Every structure is written in structure tokens, then in C-alpha cells.
Amino acid sequence: MERPQLFLMPTDDETDLLEHLPFELPADQYEIARSYRKVNDRNNFVAARWLLVEFFKEQRVDFNLNDLQYTDAGKPFLNNGYHFSIAHTKGMVGLLVGTTPVGLDIELIKPIENYYEFSEVLTAGELDTIARSGLQTFFRFWTAKEAILKLTGDGIVNSGLVNSILFPQPNTAILKYHAYTLQPFIIPGNIFATVAQMQSANIDLTEYYYVTEVAGNRSLKYDNIKIIPFVG
């Protein structure tokens, strides 16, 4: 697999995916899933693992959810040569898998009353650019930072690195002397997505796999959708 693969699974608050899984979650992960009071939160947890299982089944790679390990910062990872990143927003869960480090963020585009309330994660220059350019530029910066910090394992929440990310040119970022390539685009449901990769290993995605239904045997069916790069 030379090119990273992106899978997107729509979710809702009515269908409890935990009741429809074609496999059993490990006991500890099952208990975590059951601990979520809101169906949407539970679905985010379950859908990501369902997508992982389906991916490795398609790749014919031996995989068990017990293989998941976690860094001290809570980032899940595998020791089988694959890297992955999980993201979710209202109504959607995403899984990005590659053979080099990858980062993914997806965010539902919704109105922002005051961009300057986000001064802890956006620099003054970025906020000024957003004020001139509008809502989609806000989500372009936000998802870019989130995707990079997911790749590195730091995360945007409580990360002192968030305003150290530099954007010397469109779709390129630098953090701690490392260069990253960004691929922003919009997916169904008015959701902004950004994929981050190390610049040295970057191979742009050309399409993603969108779950359209769960088949009779509870396997997932996909539509292949061409990625149209966001320009703005």
C-alpha cells in the first residue's frame, strides 16, 4: 500500500453501532464503549474500531483490536508497520491509515461568532487572515493544526506547541524543524477535512472510501469519492 487510505463512516444518534458489530470488542474496550452515556460518543468509539478491523481484513493482514497500544499522551498506535489516525465530528467518523506517520482531522463547518475567542490556538496573524477570508479559512487553520498534532501524538488540547506551527506557504507547515504537507478538502455533510503527512513521505490522496451501508453479513460497503482539493 503506497498511498494512505481514508475511510469515512456516517453516524447518527439513533443507531447504536455497538449492537450491530459483526465481531466482539475486547472486554476492556467493550466496557469503555458501554461507559459512554451518549449514543453518539459510543458510536465514535465503536465506528473507529470497526473501520480498523475492516481495513486489515481487506488488506489480509492479521489484526486484533488487542494489538492496539497507547502512548503516554493517549495516542493509539500499532507495531505492525501501519500508522493510523482517528477523527470524528458530529455525524461522521474518519480513519486514515498509511505506512508512514499520518494525521487526520474532520470538523463540521458551523458559524463562529467571534474568531478571536480562539487566540490560544490561533496566532494574531492567523486570526487576522481568518477575519479577512471567512469561516472556511478558520477551519482550514484549525484542522491543519489538529491533523499535525495528531500525527506527532501531541494533540491540540493543552498542547504548548499549537502556536509554534508555521505555515510558510499553502498546504505546507513546519513544527520543530520538521516539514509537513497538508491536504485540505470538504466532504459530504459540510465537513472540513485535513490530512497531514511528513513532507519527506507525502503521497497525496486522490480519493476516499465513504461507507454507504452495512451489508447483510455486516461488512461495510463503500463508495469511492474523488477528492477535490480546497482552494481558498
CB count, 10 Å around CB of 37?
Answer: 7
Euclidean distance between CA atoms 3 and 203, whole angstroms: 6
| pLDDT tens by residue, 211-224 | 998 766 677 899 99
Please give the helix or strand (H or E) that residue 151 lies within, else none. Answer: helix 135-152
pLDDT > 60? residue 209: yes
pLDDT grade for 74, boundaries at 50, 70 and 90:
confident
> How far is CA 101 from its chain centroid?
13
- Provide mean pLDDT across the span 155-181: 85
Contact 22, 219 (CB under 8 A): yes
Contact 109, 142 (CB under 8 A): no
Q: What is the pLDDT of residue 176?
A: 87
Q: What is the pLDDT of residue 219?
A: 78
What are the Cα distances from residue 116, in Å, to 2, 62, 145, 156? 40, 48, 17, 17
Please give the helix or strand (H or E) that residue 135 lies within, else none. Answer: helix 135-152
pLDDT grade for 120, boundaries at 50, 70 and 90:
confident
Which domains are seen in the chain, by residue range? 5-226 (3.90.470.20)
pLDDT grade for 196, boundaries at 50, 70 and 90:
very high
- Provide mean pLDDT across the span 177-200: 94
Residue whose entry in the numeric block shows the C-alpha cell 500500500 = 1
pLDDT > 70? residue 119: yes
